Amino acid sequence: MSKQLNLAVIPNLKVELLPGDRVAIEQKFLEGILKYDGLWPGSVTVLMEKNPDRDQNFHKKIFKRDELPFKLEIIAPEEITPQKLLENKISVVLASADYRKNHLSQVCHSANLPCIYITEYSLQTRKQIIAANTNNPLLRLRRNLWEENQERKQRKAIALAEGVQCNGTPTYEAYRTINRNPLLYFDGRVTEAMLATEEEIEKRFLNCQEDSPLRLLFSGRLIKMKGADRLLDVARELKRLGIQFEMFICGDGDLREKMQREIVATRLSDRVKMMGVLDFKTELIPFAKANVDLFVCCHPQGDPSCTYLETMSCGVPIVGYANEAFEGVVKYSQAGWLIPMDRPKLMAQQLAALSQNRHSIKAMSLKALEFARQHTFEKTWEARISHLKRVAMRKMALESSMLH
């Protein structure tokens, strides 16, 4: 494959423009782009829209624009045309699926360029996110109808594209039959060097008796979409059942202050600890590997959260709501426990049963780790780049044969 090939990455994320020709880019996205830059046999151009607002939810890094290891073009999705792609000498387009990017597969088709979409949220998941965040029933209905209309347009766009990379099973099951080159992957930031070891799991369980406190973890944004409002329901029920436990809640978000007040009001301060935002590599991962028995996941929707794979990489199994994303993870890994959606008392009952069966937790910890080994950051990105190359070469070979 020619070294002159220029890959265009068009994400849903926006970039903050700062004084002094500096830019603020989300850390996780940056790690992925650097992986593209290292593995793609050519140059990488990122087409991003300017973010007019400050976003406090993500860890960001600041760079001078001319020091970035890739070309950054500031452009709105609607401004991307065949002419614009050809002016930038783009060879292949990799775009995150979104209602504002449904035209891109047609744009690429007109420019004779291969287009590959990245998908994350299925229609069902998008509706679940609406339900979690919208109390007004009429507004909820209107938003659901809009999503159904958007889904029809998105399916047409994905069917026209040369390939689709599906983060998690929900969109893979939805789109694998309408696109000729689908790829399933599980996203995560854990490298092979960060993985837990079997020795670390053994050490964690060495002095773990059935009467010792069950150590529970949640990490993520403290918002309704991530089910953070249900964690304390689980904790209260565990206390009522007489289970000895510790619950560590890591992260920040809109619900943090309310949760802190509720912990005090319900006398859970000796059992539930709000730990704030921990650095992913130096604090959260080491803490989980050494101090956590189970991850509690009350996600009321099926977004393919990195949380699943990253938790399993620590050798920590998950007890989670049976949303479509976690159902897919359990299906492929055979690790974890599924709880009916929005049933925090059933979640607590499952945790209570597991507190009396630490051998079962240990066995599932080893299964979770084995699955994570197959889906490290390196292996996932190598598979995605290989897929991208195959799809691009197939398209180019077809174009070449038609010219001759």
Return the sign of the alpha-carbon dihedral for residues 102, 103, 104, 106.
positive
Q: What is the pLDDT of residue 142?
A: 97
> What whole-number distance in Å separates Cα of residue 278 and Cα of residue 288?
11
Q: What is the pLDDT of residue 399?
A: 66
Return the sign of the alpha-carbon dihedral for residues 33, 35, 38, 41.
negative
Q: What is the pLDDT of residues 33-78, one digit of tens each?
A: 988 888 899 999 999 999 887 665 557 888 898 888 889 999 999 9
All residue ranges of the chain with pLDDT < 50 are 1-3
Q: What is the pLDDT of residue 12?
A: 94
Structure tokens that stand for 356 in this block: 């009396």
Question: Of 286, 350, 348, which Cα lies nearest the Cα of 315?
Answer: 286
> Quick one: which H or E segment has residue 390?
helix 377-403
Q: What is the rounded end-to-end Cα distance, in angstroms, of the chain?
A: 19
Q: What is the pLDDT of residue 2?
A: 47
Q: What is the pLDDT of residue 3?
A: 47
> Quick one: which H or E segment has residue 106?
helix 104-110
Amino acid at 63: F
Structure tokens that stand for 22 in this block: 């500096």
What angle is formed at CA 374 by the lines to CA 369 and CA 375, rounded to 5 degrees?
A: 95
Angle between helices 324-333 and 358-373 (to 10 degrees): 90
Q: What is the pLDDT of residue 402?
A: 64
What are the structural domains of the chain?
A: 5-188+377-403 (3.40.50.2000), 192-373 (3.40.50.2000)
3-state secondary structure of 26: strand
> Quick one: which H or E segment has residue 127?
helix 123-133
Write the DSSP assignment of 268-298 as a string of letters: -TTTEEEEEPPPIIIIIHHHHHHH-SEEEE-
Asked if residues 33 and 43 have their Cβ atoms less than 8 Å apart, the reply is no
Q: Whole-model pTM?
A: 0.92
